[in-house]
Structure formats: structure tokens, C-alpha cells
Amino acid sequence: MSDSEEDNNLYPTLEGGRIQRVMRALELTKGVEIARRYLAMNAFDGALTMLGLILGGLITINPALPAEASLQFNAILLAAAGTSIAMAISGFSGSYLTETAERDREVDEMGKAMLSDMSESMYAKATKTTSLVVAIVDGASPAIAAFIIITPLFFVPSGVLGYRMAFYIAILICMALLFVLGLFLGSISKKNMWAYGAKTLFAGIMTAILMFIISYISGAAG
């Protein structure tokens, strides 16, 4: 048996459609589990980050001063949108660089163990695909979660919603999203989904409680 035939037996080819190749690469490098962890973890981070910003706006904006309240709301909206974009860029670039470095090291060590150059092997190509997919998931998950939560805020400038109502709706969306993420984690663990949902929801509630305590102590409430 030739070296190329042996290599193909060890590491299946990535032929087929693009989606098939991606899924085969993820399966080969155990990328599905990594992407799934990044999805849940970073969506959770994005949701709690937006919750903090929204609660900060709800607590500090003074409705008795409409002109000032409008400026403060615009600042909160811009901060929320900017933070979402920053999380996407940071998550993608940081994850891609980290995963690429780890996968390159893994391929090099595998090549040394097998006394052959693995840099052009199917496995090496699969690791590049996995690094890209994981990076996309890492960057997109917190940004998408954040934008889902702050969607009501974009209806305020047009007058469809008042800013306080938009904040309340955004908080409800955030809590619902946290609960759904908990259910997702519960389904992965194959344990009590509702218990996981309650735990992630509790994290959101504790964030809100601590925000109000800090605002009371600091006198930051509008």
C-alpha cells in the first residue's frame, strides 16, 4: 500500500459539496463539540453584556428631563451596537488566531510522531476549516444574541416605542434568551433541561439585582 493510500485511510478525503466537506472536517477534528461550546458560552456572555448596558440605561436615564433623556438613550443605543460589533470582531479574530495556532501545533506534533510531513494532509486541511468555522461561531454568537436583545431599542428613534418600554421589552427578550440557552445546554448534557434553564435565568436575575444594588449605593439612579 502506498503512502498516499495509507494517508487516505487514516484521514478521509474532504470531497463532495461545500457543506459536506465542512461537516466532514468538523467531524474529523472534533470541531462540532468546540463550536457548540463557543456558541453557548459566547451567546451567554453577549446576552449578559447587553443586559448590563440596558439596565444601566434604565436606571440612569431621568424621564423628567426629556431632552437629556434622549441624548442619554442615543448614547446607550450606540454603546450597545458598538459593543455588539466589537464582540463579533474580537471573538472572530481572537478565536481564529488561537485555534489556528493550536491546530498548527497539533499537526506538527502529529507529523513528528508519524515521521512525515502532515502540512498538506487531509487532516491539516480539515483543521484549517475547523479553525475558520469555530472562529465564525465564536464571533457571531455573542453579536447575534446582543442584536436580538437590543432590537426594540431601534424602534425608539422613530417613535414606535418609548425608551422605557423598549428597555423593558429588551430585558424580557434577554431573560427568555438566557432561559433558552439553558435549555440548549441541558439538552447537550442530557440532564434536566429545565434545571439548566433556571440556572442561566438566575444568572440574569442576579445581574439585575446587583446592578440595582450598585446604583443604590453609588447614587447613580436617574
| Residue 75 located in a structural domain | yes
Q: Looking at the 3D structure of the chain, how many domains does it have? A: 1
pLDDT of residue 144: 92
| Residue 222 located in a structural domain | no
| Residue 184 located in a structural domain | yes
User: In which band, very low, low, confident or very high, does the pLDDT at 10 lie, cut at 50, 70 and 90?
Assistant: very low
Q: Which regions of the chain does DSSP assign to beta strands (E)?
A: none
pTM comes to 0.77
| Residue 115 located in a structural domain | yes
**Between 111 and 175, residue with greater pLDDT:** 175
| Residue 149 located in a structural domain | yes
| Residue 219 located in a structural domain | no
Q: Quote the DSSP letter at residue 157.
A: T
Residue 100 has pLDDT above 60, yes or no: yes
| Residue 220 located in a structural domain | no
Tell me which residue range forms the domain holding 99.
3-212
pLDDT of residue 7: 45
| Residue 217 located in a structural domain | no
pLDDT of residue 47: 92
Report the C-alpha gap between 11 and 23 in whole angstroms: 14
User: In which band, very low, low, confident or very high, does the pLDDT at 18 lie, cut at 50, 70 and 90?
Assistant: low
Q: Give per-residue pLDDT as tens, 31-71.
A: 677 777 778 888 988 999 999 989 988 888 777 677 777 88
pLDDT of residue 211: 85
DSSP 64-117: T-HHHHHHHHHHHHHHHHHHHHHHHHHHHHHHHHHHHHHHHHHHHHHHHHHTS-
